Amino acid sequence: MKKTSNDIRNSRNIEQAAPCGPTAVVLLSGGLDSAVTAAIAKLRGFALHALSVNYGQRHGIELEAAKRVADSLNLCQHVVTTIDLRVFGGSALTANIPVPKSPDFSAMTQEIPVTYVPARNTVFLSLALAFAETISASDIFLGVNAVDFSGYPDCRPAFLECFERLANLATKAGVEGQRFTIHAPLIRMSKADIIREGTRLGVDFSLTHSCYDPTPAGLACGSCDSCTLRLRGFKEAGVTEPIAYSC
């Protein structure tokens, strides 16, 4: 019997139904790393609620990518919250400071670049914690990485361990015995390994956006820290980069 469009829709819903495991929050930037992180969390059986933050970033277009990624992974919920970090400034991503191009890899993990946003991951994790506590989730996933990264202090394991301790002290849930866990499954993976893992899990990288300084049309520049790391990762992984670049 030929399937009707309703049959097809129902079948698709069953295949893509959100898992019924424990609830978790994932910070979803729209970039490659957080997409792979969400796919890993989903594979582990978590019912995933994604949180994206509109913080006045130069590359606000990444929020559209976050929506595409959330839709493609059929997450339980995708919440976008707004906190304008431009009121503080202090970064090439939130103030009128040029984004450096063609970065030197050897210097990248030694010097913290001007794309560092003061306390960004502390702000993001605190919002994820507020979200997690509200929906009774004990697990928070984020896609930080301490191998192929820009040297940001709030991507290091020691920071994440300290935030986990804080989460359990800061909350009513923690006082009442719930134990929060911060998961950073990519923390010790190279960008090439992240891309290989994402490919294995069926992540559609064409939906993601990594560039700090896209053209007005949304094309990646190909030469900022983030593009440079991404391009090198695809090359090393032997995977074709599916997005277009302006140069």
Q: Is residue 162 a contact residue for a copy of itself (CB under 8 A)?
A: yes
The CA distance from 204 to 144, in Å, is 19
Q: Is residue 122 a contact residue for a copy of itself (CB under 8 A)?
A: yes
Per-residue tokens: 186? 């990519």
CA distances from 9 to 12, 15, 17, 68 (A): 5, 10, 12, 19
How many residues belong to the chain? 247
Q: Is residue 171 a contact residue for a copy of itself (CB under 8 A)?
A: yes
Q: Do residues 49 and 23 lie in contact, with contact meaning Cβ atoms separated by under 8 Å?
A: yes
Q: Is residue 154 a contact residue for a copy of itself (CB under 8 A)?
A: yes
The CA distance from 16 to 92, in Å, is 39
Name which of 171 and 199 has its Cβ closer to a copy of itself: 171
Task: Give least dist CB 188 to a copy of itself, A.
Answer: 18
**Site residue total, a copy of itself (CB under 8 A):** 45
DSSP class of residue 27 equals E
Per-residue tokens: 150? 């820009």
Q: Is residue 81 a contact residue for a copy of itself (CB under 8 A)?
A: yes
Name which of 86 and 101 has its Cβ closer to a copy of itself: 86
The CA distance from 155 to 56, in Å, is 20
Interface residue with a copy of itself among 26, 46, 116, 144 (CB under 8 A) is 116
Q: Is residue 181 a contact residue for a copy of itself (CB under 8 A)?
A: no
Q: Is residue 158 a contact residue for a copy of itself (CB under 8 A)?
A: yes
Interface residue with a copy of itself among 76, 97, 170, 239 (CB under 8 A) is 170
Q: Do residues 100 and 226 lie in contact, with contact meaning Cβ atoms separated by under 8 Å?
A: no
Interface residue with a copy of itself among 21, 90, 100, 218 (CB under 8 A) is 90
Per-residue tokens: 132? 């997690």
Name which of 43 and 108 has its Cβ closer to a copy of itself: 108
The CA distance from 69 to 36, in Å, is 10
The site for a copy of itself (CB under 8 A) is made up of 79, 81-85, 87-90, 112, 116-123, 125-127, 129-131, 133-134, 152-154, 156, 158-159, 162-163, 165-167, 169-175
